[in-house]
Homo-oligomer: A and B are copies of this chain.
């Protein structure tokens, strides 16, 4: 029996021989995709006749098309520069709904609390969750609290589930990317992951970097108002970062993606932190930006509308969807060469969200 070493998770581990869950299985990268495809989906749905375990799912309720999404949050520390686990949980779920073109209507909040957590910390993050939900305009309608003995959890885990209703005309899908589409990022990348890591490791960046955690539903609503069905694909690059998400989208649509490194909005402080930490900003988690594939004829108008909103003020055109090679993401570097942009392999930043 091989007991996994977190460092080994940086190399791909053949699934059949792993035997145990690795940190990398929760990374949002290749091992996560493998666990989902090879174990979770076949176990939950042996007949393969149901939609299982997408980030968010469309369900029909007596004629109403609803969207539902769930997420567990295990971020450490639970309070970090720019936010906390409560606000993050609300924003994360609101954003998963938004990426399906849905506006949130109700949230649930489920807590697993470690015995001994100071009540003041619990109060702080719940107030923050409540304020985040109020700012979004979505009620938290139901919840659950379990307490486990000391040492059986690490402070607090939060699971949020959201139900929303699709905006008319919103038809974004992972499979709708087409050659010629404009690839857009709604703001600077790498802030959430580097903020968490610098706070956790006491690297001294924490006064300069703050998480970008924020809700994106209004941005999406505006994009759909202006672009309609020209908004082909939406996704927030959280775990695994921009690189992992673009690889998933390229794979899903059978297209390629070509990025332009010069156009990527990487703040200097993120670049500096990534150099110290040995990270690629394209693999670092974000919690307040989205990637979009836009039909070229409407792209300019959508980008202009995005830039009018605070949360889209930093919107940048960062590349294009291409025909070949399908499933691949490449990047024209600052030096003019071209490199392959891979999914995150293993686990770069455990407990980032």
Contacts and interface: CB of A to CB of B under 8 A. Distances in A.
Interface of A: 3-4, 6, 18-27, 32, 35-36, 39-40, 43-47, 50-57, 59, 61-64, 66, 68-74, 76, 105-106, 108-120, 122-123, 126-127, 129-130, 133-134, 139-149, 151-154, 157, 159, 161, 163, 165, 347, 350-351, 353
A45 to B, nearest CB: 6
Q: Main SS of the interface on chain A? A: mixed
Among A18, A130, A134, A141, the most chain B Cβ lie within 10 Å of the Cβ of A141
A74 B144 CA distance: 12
Given A149-B350, A161-B70, A119 B57 contact: no
A110 B165 contact: no
A46 to B, nearest CB: 7
A4 B116 contact: yes
Contacts of A59: 105-106, 141, 163
Among A26, A32, A35, A64, the most chain B Cβ lie within 10 Å of the Cβ of A26
Given A116-B4, A145-B32, A147-B350, A53 B140 contact: yes
8 contacts: A22-B147, A27-B147, A44-B140, A70-B108, A72-B145, A74-B152, A76-B152, A153-B153
Contacts of A73: 146
Contacts of A24: 147
B157 A154 contact: no
B70 A126 contact: no
Given A56-B142, A108-B161, A118-B20, A149 B68 contact: no
